Structure 1
Amino acid sequence: MSINPELWQISNFDLTIRIILALLLGGLIGLEREWNNHAAGFRTHILVCVGSASIMLLSIYGFSAFVYEANVRTDPARLAAQVISGIGFLGAGAILRTGPTVSGLTTAASIWVVAAIGLSVGAGFYYAAILVTGLVLISLFLLNKWEKHMMWHRRTQEITLRIVDRPGSLGNIATLLGNHSIQIKNIHMEHEQGLMFSEDENIIKIRLTLQLLSADKLVDALDELTRLETVLAVDSGHISGSGKSGKGRAAFQKGKGINKAG
């Protein structure tokens, strides 16, 4: 079986072009993640893409000296396969769970795709790498906005309130939420053991499952809830999709006295 020596050789110029292209393509995707303040951003995506391209180049061209040995069989895809499976530890580190909300899945997927782009560039599969990069950017920028616009009416958000058990307290909360086009889908109430607001007023903990049209409407509603006299504390966990700076998580407790019973 004849061996083509040029197949296993690459010039320094071509190698440099591939590494720089991997840097640019990975950086474009990382820039979108950085812009939206995600855990894995600009530098992380560059490192993943450049590293993947380097490993692909090593897998194809790094062992060219052994190609002509009689008992050696080369497999250019072997190291690439390890990159695809091994990159998972970075993706797992980007996924966070806060109560019922899971975040970071898109960032984890973008890291995995960037690794594939780096492998494609390293193998000289330029058209596929550039095409995938363009599609990923369209998905992250345009489809993200479309998803938020189209799917918010199907999403729910859970919030926890601590309120003074007075007549009309829950009705005032429901009215306020309704004014912001927020619908209560489920409600769970329990008394706070050992805590009282006064001698004849108990404190109750309420968990509300809400259906809403906009994260910003929920943030505004929570701001108004904290100003109600009977609301002592509000905790919304993580509000995904909120465009208001610093209000992705709403947690507030008033400075009113809480008495321990007994």
Structure 2
Amino acid sequence: MDVHLTIQEIIVRLSLAMLIGGVIGFERQYKNRPAGMRTHILVCMGAAIIALIQVEIAASALEDATNHPELTGVIRSDQARLIAQVVSGIGFLGAGTIIVTKQSVTGLTTAASLWAVAGLGISIGMGYYSIAITSSIGIFIALTLVKKIIHVPTTKKLEIRYLHKQETKEFINRYFEEHKIEIEDVNFNVILVGEEQIYTNIYTIDLPRGMTYAEVIEDLSIHKNITKLRLVSI
């Protein structure tokens, strides 16, 4: 009995890895994320190749044990060994997609998608098609539909740069009170440019239901003394 993979089976598994990795990568590239379609295809196919090699190693060990019964206690094959290296090694590639700045951290979802795609590649390479196909559907739903269906409110920091402290500060506070916007925290800074004092307040605010940050920024921007408005994620 031939326990080795046929060339047709290898082609099918690698093609499926290319297809599934490409679909998930297309979604990431469409959203202009650090790792796109080619990266996801390569990760998925690479993991599948490692899994195929591990399958062949196990098949060779089984074949040797069958042909040489006297070596049954000597011949060993651990199918999880190479796969474990893929799971840990993909973290380095995912880390390269994460961008950390003073204001935000981006690329976490793409790093997670690369890690998940590696798992898909392993399942395809090992021949677990039902796991691969079902999981790929779940991953694609998580990347595309979850954010549209489930809205999770997040606390943001609103940075406001302005001139003439007292007048503008009163306008900002009055606006927050009238619109029932809660101020959870505020940090401030002042610099002197020529003869002008420029104030920068960073507010941690909680918006009431139905109000958006875009509305707040648009409303506050009408004041002549406010020179800059932006959101800072935390």
What TM-score does the superposition give when structure 1 sets the normalisation length?
Answer: 0.74
The separation in 2 between residues aligned to 1:159 and 1:116, in whole angstroms, is: 39
> Matches of residues 193-204 of structure 1 in structure 2 within 5 Å?
194-195=192-193, 197-198=195-196, 202-204=197-199
3-state SS of paired residue (1:168):
helix
Instruction: Figure out how many residues of one structure are paired with residues of the other and give that number.
Output: 225
Residue 230 of structure 1 aligns with an amino acid whose one-letter code is N
- 2:44 equivalent among 42, 49, 66: 49
Structure having greater relative contact order (Cα 8 Å, sep ≥ 6): 2
Indicate if the aligned counterparts of 1:99 and 1:237 stay in contact, CA closer than 8 A: no
Name the structure 1 match of 2:26.
31
Deviations along 1:38-90, one digit per CA (max 9) or x if unpaired, are 21222211111011101111122168667638565333322111000000011
> Matches of residues 168-183 of structure 1 in structure 2 within 5 Å?
168-176=167-175, 182-183=181-182
CA shift for structure 1 position 221: 3.1
Indicate if the aligned counterparts of 1:189 and 1:207 stay in contact, CA closer than 8 A: yes
CA shift for structure 1 position 196: 5.3
CA shift for structure 1 position 100: 5.0
The separation in 1 between residues aligned to 2:171 and 2:136, in whole angstroms, is: 50
Indicate if the aligned counterparts of 1:164 and 1:197 stay in contact, CA closer than 8 A: no
Name the structure 2 match of 1:87.
90
Indicate if the aligned counterparts of 1:180 and 1:217 stay in contact, CA closer than 8 A: no
CA shift for structure 1 position 175: 4.4
3-state SS of paired residue (1:229):
coil
Q: Structure 1 166/41 Cα, relative in aligned 2: closer, same or farther at 3 Å?
A: same
3-state SS of paired residue (1:6):
coil
Q: Structure 1 181/137 Cα, relative in aligned 2: closer, same or farther at 3 Å?
A: farther
Name the structure 2 match of 1:138.
141
Name the structure 1 match of 2:127.
124
Indicate if the aligned counterparts of 2:183 and 2:204 stay in contact, CA closer than 8 A: yes
- 1:6 equivalent among 2, 5, 24: 2
Name the structure 2 match of 1:258.
none
Deviations along 1:213-252, one digit per CA (max 9) or x if unpaired, are 69x932343344344211133343459xxxxxxxxxxxxx
CA shift for structure 1 position 30: 1.7
Residue 185 of structure 1 aligns with an amino acid whose one-letter code is E
CA shift for structure 1 position 181: 7.0
RMSD (Å) for aligned C-alpha atoms: 2.9
The separation in 2 between residues aligned to 1:158 and 1:95, in whole angstroms, is: 21
Percent identical: 34
Deviations along 1:96-144, one digit per CA (max 9) or x if unpaired, are 2333533222221111111011001001111111111111122222222
Structure 1 runs of 4+ off > 4 angstroms?
Answer: 62-67, 69-72, 175-182
Name the structure 2 match of 1:107.
110
3-state SS of paired residue (1:94):
coil
Q: Structure 1 93/175 Cα, relative in aligned 2: closer, same or farther at 3 Å?
A: farther
3-state SS of paired residue (1:87):
helix
Name the structure 2 match of 1:98.
101
Q: Does 1:165 align with 2:196?
A: no
Indicate if the aligned counterparts of 2:87 and 2:115 stay in contact, CA closer than 8 A: yes
Between 11-20 and 169-178, report the one with greater CA deviation: 169-178
Q: Does 1:209 align with 2:208?
A: no
